[in-house]
C-alpha cells in the first residue's frame, strides 16, 4: 500500500520524504492557502510558482504530486489542467491534475458533468488526473470510466456529515467507527447509503476489483491512524495523510514504555560494543 502526504507545506514534505516512506503528495486549494499564509510569515518575496516548483523537486520523479484546478466549467478546468501540467511537470515529471468529480456549487454554478468532461479531456491529452471530492462509489465509478488515474474519496468528511446529522459534538480528528453509529433515538445513520468513510472506500475497492478497473483509490480526508489502518484493510491502494496523522502512525505508548525499559537495562558491557567502533 502506498502512503501519500496530504499537505502543501514544503517543510513537511522535505521531512517526510527524508524518512523514505512517502510515495506521493496531495494538495488542494485550502492546503495551498495554509502554506501561503505560513510562507508569507517567513518570506514575503517568494512567489507561489517557485514554491510549488520546490515541492515538486523535493518530492521527486517517483512521487506524484496532485495540483488542483480552480475553475468550475469543463473548459476552464481543461485549460487550467493543461497550464498547470505544462508549467510544472517539467520540474520532475510528477504532476497529477486534481479535478473535482462534479463542480456544481451552492449557487448552482458549475455543471453536473463538467468535472467528468475535464477528466476525459485531460486523459486524452495523456495528463494524469486525480478526481477529487468523491463522496459516493458511483462518483468514483464514473470518474474512473472517464479516465481518472486516481479517485480521492473524502472519508473523514463522510464521517463528519453523519455525526452532524446526529448533532453530535466532535473534534476533527476523533475516531469514527467503520461500522457506523446510531443516534440517541437508536436510528442507524447513513449518508447516501454509506455508514462511514471507510465504508465508502471499501465499496469503491470492491467495485474496482470486481470490474478490474485500473484506477487507484486514494483514501483522503484521513483524520487519525486507526482510519488509515482501516483503509489499508479494506483495499485502498493509497492513503493520503496529514503530517500530524503520519507522526501519530509511528507512535504507541507501549513503544515508549519499551524504550524506557530497554534504555534503563543497558549495561556497560553491552554499551562497550558501541564505543569500540566497527
Ligand atoms: C486530499 O486529497 C483532500 O484534499 C484532503 O484529504 C481533504 O481533507 P480534509 O477533509 O481533512 O480537508
Residue 72 gets which letter from DSSP? S
Give the pLDDT score at 39: 87
pLDDT surpassing 90 at residue 177: yes
Question: What residues contact 242, with CB distance under 8 A and at least 6 apart?
Answer: 5, 6, 7, 222
For 17-56, write each residue's pLDDT tens digit.
Answer: 999 999 999 999 999 999 999 988 887 788 999 999 999 9
- What percent of the chain shows pLDDT beyond 70? 99
Q: What is the mean pLDDT of residues 222-227?
A: 98
For 126-172, write each residue's pLDDT tens digit.
Answer: 999 999 999 999 999 999 999 999 999 999 999 999 999 989 999 99
Give the pLDDT score at 81: 98
User: Measured from the CB, is residue 154 less than 6 Å from ligand 1?
Assistant: yes
Q: How far is the CA of 220 from the centre of ligand 1 (A)?
A: 5
pLDDT surpassing 80 at residue 83: yes
Residue 277: pLDDT band (50, 70, 90) is: confident
Q: How far is the CA of 256 from the centre of ligand 1 (A)?
A: 30
Among all chains, which residue has been given the C-alpha cell 517557485? 50
User: Measured from the CB, is residue 239 less than 6 Å from ligand 1?
Assistant: no
Residue nearest to atom 4 of ligand 1 (CA): 28
> What is the 3-class SS of 125-192, one letter each residue?
CCCCEEEEEECCHHHHHHHHHHCCCEEEEEHHHHHHHHHHHCCCCCCCCCCCCCCCCECCCCCECCEC
Interatomic CA distance for residues 216 and 257, integer angstroms: 38
Residue nearest to atom 11 of ligand 1 (CA): 221
Give the pLDDT score at 42: 84
pLDDT surpassing 80 at residue 278: no
- Please state, rounded to an integer, the average pLDDT across all residues of the chain: 96
- What percent of the chain shows pLDDT beyond 90? 94
Residue nearest to atom 9 of ligand 1 (CA): 221
Q: What is the mean pLDDT of residues 259-270?
A: 97
User: Measured from the CB, is residue 110 less than 6 Å from ligand 1?
Assistant: no
The residues carrying an active-site annotation are 98
Interatomic CA distance for residues 121 and 77, integer angstroms: 9
Closest among 106, 99, 154, 155 to 128, alpha carbons compared: 99
Nearest atom, ligand 1, residue 220 CA: 6
Q: What is the mean pLDDT of residues 53-70?
A: 97
Helix (DSSP H) and strand (DSSP E) numbers for the chain: 12, 8
Torsion, Cα 129 214 18 273, to 10 degrees, reads 180
Pocket test for ligand 1, best of 32, 69, 154 (most atoms within 8 A of CB): 154
Domain coordinates in residue numbering, the chain: 2-274
For 84-129, write each residue's pLDDT tens digit.
Answer: 999 999 999 999 999 999 999 999 998 999 999 999 999 999 999 9
Q: How far is the CA of 266 from the centre of ligand 1 (A)?
A: 44
* Backbone torsions φ then ψ of 202, nearest 5 degrees: -60, -45
Q: How far is the CA of 101 from the centre of ligand 1 (A)?
A: 14
Homologous superfamily of domain range 2-274: Aldolase class I (3.20.20.70)
Please say whether the dihedral angle defined by the alpha carbons of residues 237, 241, 243 and 247, taken in this order, is positive or negative: negative
Interatomic CA distance for residues 251 and 4, integer angstroms: 18
In Å, what is the CA distance from 187 to each residue of 117, 192, 253?
A: 39, 15, 36
Interatomic CA distance for residues 202 and 235, integer angstroms: 7
Q: How far is the CA of 222 from the centre of ligand 1 (A)?
A: 7
Amino acid at each position: 500500500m502506498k502512503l501519500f502526504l496530504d499537505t502543501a507545506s514544503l517543510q513537511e514534505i522535505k521531512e517526510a520524504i527524508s524518512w523514505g516512506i512517502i510515495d506521493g503528495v496531495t494538495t488542494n486549494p485550502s492546503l495551498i492557502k495554509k502554506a501561503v499564509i505560513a510562507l508569507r510569515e517567513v518570506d514575503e518575496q517568494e512567489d507561489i510558482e517557485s514554491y510549488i516548483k520546490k515541492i515538486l523537486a523535493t518530492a521527486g520523479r517517483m512521487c506524484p504530486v496532485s495540483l488542483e484546478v480552480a475553475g468550475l466549467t469543463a473548459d476552464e478546468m481543461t485549460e487550467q489542467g493543461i497550464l498547470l501540467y505544462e508549467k510544472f511537470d517539467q520540474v520532475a515529471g510528477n504532476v497529477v491534475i486534481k479535478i473535482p468529480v462534479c463542480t456544481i456549487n451552492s449557487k448552482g454554478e458549475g455543471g453536473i458533468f463538467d468535472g467528468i468532461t475535464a477528466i476525459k479531456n485531460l486523459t486524452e491529452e495523456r495528463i494524469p488526473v486525480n478526481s477529487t471530492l468523491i463522496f459516493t462509489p458511483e462518483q468514483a465509478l464514473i470518474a474512473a470510466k472517464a479516465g481518472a488515474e486516481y479517485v480521492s474519496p473524502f472519508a473523514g468528511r463522510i464521517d463528519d456529515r453523519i455525526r452532524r446529522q446526529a448533532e453530535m459534538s466532535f473534534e476533527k480528528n476523533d475516531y469514527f467507527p467503520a461500522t457506523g453509529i446510531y443516534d440517541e433515538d437508536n436510528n442507524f445513520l447513513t449518508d447516501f447509503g454509506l455508514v462511514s468513510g471507510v465504508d465508502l472506500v471499501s465499496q469503491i475497492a470492491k467495485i474496482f476489483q470486481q470490474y478490474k478497473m485500473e484506477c487507484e483509490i486514494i483514501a483522503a480526508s484521513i483524520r487519525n491512524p486507526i482510519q488509515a489502518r482501516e483503509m489499508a484493510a479494506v483495499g485502498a491502494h493509497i492513503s493520503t495523510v496529514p503530517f500530524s496523522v503520519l507522526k501519530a502512525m509511528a507512535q504507541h505508548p507501549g513503544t515508549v514504555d519499551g524504550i524506557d525499559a530497554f534504555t534503563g537495562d543497558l549495561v556497560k558491557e553491552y554499551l562497550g560494543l558501541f564505543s569500540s567502533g566497527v
